Structure 1
Amino acid sequence: MAKHRPRRVGELIKQEVSQMLLQDEIKDPRIGFVTITDVEVSGDLRHAKIFVSVLDDEQAKEETMEGLKNAVGYIRRELGQRIRLRHTPEIIFRYDNSIERGTKIFKILEELDE
């Protein structure tokens, strides 16, 4: 039972942060088009790693990650109000390049197929 709770809390965090980004609740112009790919929550529910993918050039990715780091306090406060937990998890944003890697692999496979 305890193994399922971090996964469920991670899904809730993913939904809520996605909603914040979708509805432009985070008013930082540096944050571009961001997709939340995954959320890992520690077993004690005190830490959450939010993995994001940014579909832009390298400079826009860096600016978006900086904007997200600056918005951590706001996001954490909003999560504390929306998700009722004893302790609101500390949030860490991590860049996820798995979509880019998948695209490269797909292109290589297409080239091999030809």
Structure 2
Amino acid sequence: MKKNSIKNTRINGEVQKELSRIISMEVKDPRINPMTSVVSVEVTPDLKFAKAYISVLGDEESRQATKEGLKKAGPFIRSQLAKRLNLRNTPELTFILDQSIEYGVNMSKMIEEVTKNIRHEEESEKEDSGE
């Protein structure tokens, strides 16, 4: 796979920033969870298509409802992008649920729980040995 050029990387960042603003402030669909964030965006070099990776804080039902709401709001979001960004083509958006943030939070909780158990065991060993 070809490495992204500097121009493409900059476009990805701009589209991500504007998508975040549009989703949080402009889209009024009640299905879209207010805790929705755009994790990253990949725009094809010809600017025809874009994959937007979104993260939703909530349960599976909330995630699916948000994805459906974004899919329905796609044409509106695309028109807003066209108004805000000066691009030759405005990319057609595909929304993909990204669970990496949630996965990271769950891993952090598990690590914290394990370290807490280790500390508790060490403290009980010290008490048993009479220190």
TM-score exceeds 0.5 = yes
C-alpha displacement of 1:27: 1.7
**What does residue range 1-114 of structure 1 map to in structure 2 within 5 Å?**
3-23=5-25, 25-33=26-34, 34-113=36-115, 114=118
Contact 2:52–2:93 under 8 Å retained in 1: yes
Q: TM-score, normalised by structure 2?
A: 0.79
Alpha-carbon distance between aligned partners in 1 of 2:8 and 2:84, rounded to the nearest angstrom:
17
Alpha-carbon distance between aligned partners in 2 of 1:32 and 1:22, rounded to the nearest angstrom:
9
RMSD: 1.4
Question: Deviations for 1:11-57, whole angstroms, at most 9, x for unmatched residues?
Answer: 1111111111222x112111112111111111222211111111111
Give me the identity figure in percent.
40
Q: Which amino acid aligns with 1:42?
A: T
Aligned residues: 112
Q: Secondary structure at the match of 1:76?
A: helix
Q: TM-score, normalised by structure 1?
A: 0.90
Which one has the largest radius of gyration?
Answer: 2
Q: Give the unaligned 5+ runs of structure 2.
A: 119-131
Question: Deviations for 1:42-92, whole angstroms, at most 9, x for unmatched residues?
Answer: 122221111111111111111111000001101111111111111111110
* RCO higher in structure (CA 8 A, sep ≥6): 1
Alpha-carbon distance between aligned partners in 2 of 1:50 and 1:106, rounded to the nearest angstrom:
25
Q: Secondary structure at the match of 2:112?
A: helix
Q: Which amino acid aligns with 1:21?
A: I
Alpha-carbon distance between aligned partners in 2 of 1:73 and 1:21, rounded to the nearest angstrom:
12
